[in-house]
Amino acid sequence: MMLPLLALVAGLAVLVWSADRFVDGAAATAKHFGMPTLLIGMVIIGFGTSAPEMVVSALAALDGNPGLALGNGYGSNIANIALILGLVAVVSPIAVKSGILRKELPLLAVITFFSGALLLDGHLSLIDGLLLLAVFFAVMGWTIHGGYRQRNDIMLTEMEAETEAEFERHPMPLGKALFWLLFGLLLLVGSSRVLVWGAVSIAQSLGVSDLVIGLTIVAIGTSLPELASSIAAVRKNEHDLALGNVLGSNLFNTLAVVGIAASIHPLAVEPVILYRDWAVMTALTLALFVMGYSFHKGRQGRINRFEGAILLAAYIGYMGYLGMTVIPAAAA
């Protein structure tokens, strides 16, 4: 038990660190080859925060642990909204721009319901995985196209300025950028392999499913990049970027993370995933829309401290429910 636990902790630590190095190298390499700053901020950095979930879920599917792959994707979404946004809102209320309420949140809600429809038959097939990936690339194309057409959008301008400022503060030679791109990727894959082995071993030792380990320990661990970037946004007084980061990450997780895993290995879907985990993820997504909507005309919506506390309480309750029902049942 001790060795798998050490593997899990070390794997998570190296995973988060290597994902950061990989993103730095990829962004700097793209900049050297003339990729626009806005595109780097929207795609590469957005991809980077979900890279741990993608690699872990892909390797879990390759190893024949589909529950870990699916639990990681959905568990990360639950942690992103309830744990991360809850913490951020408790520290400082999050402003919700009207564009997010009109476009990003409804899009995430539609995609969440779409993913639930694919779970109804009890499995995610290769076709389902490819369909999720097709929707993912369509959404990315639409986002990139919209980003270039609406360059006067305040949030996009802030993202571009922040990305450009980061390059100016930390100029990286091409050779160093390529090194971190390749070495970061190798560490990302290697640490994910160690993490998956440790998580599966712990699940077997405790007698619980790899789904539960994916929903809890692995999901929290792979959500650390989102937590770090959200805390950084709060420190810079850019609270709305924390919300945008979480929404983007959840889109990646729902479509790309689960889609990649299902494309590698068909995923058996236990009924409990639909009525417990997917239902919680959907309820939290809809709760964001209600919390962010302003019922006072002319006033910007926001997620206040009380609502942040509700999100945190929901996450603690969800974790507690898993602990009280799943682990005792496995022990019996």
Q: How far is CA 98 from the centre of its chain?
A: 23
Task: Judge contact between 3 and 190, C-beta under 8 A.
Answer: no
For the domain made up of 2-331, give the CATH fold: A middle domain of Talin 1 (1.20.1420)
- Summarised one tens digit per residue, pLDDT across range 261-293 is 999 988 888 888 999 999 999 999 999 888 877
Q: What are phi and psi of 34, to 5 degrees?
A: 85, 15
At 36-88, the pLDDT tens digits run 655 565 566 667 677 788 888 888 888 888 788 889 999 999 999 999 999 98
* Token code pair at residue 292: 């962010």
| pLDDT tens digits along 74-129 | 999 999 999 999 998 898 888 777 666 677 888 899 999 999 999 999 889 999 99
Q: What is the pTM of this model?
A: 0.81
Cα(62)–Cα(299) distance, rounded to whole angstroms?
49
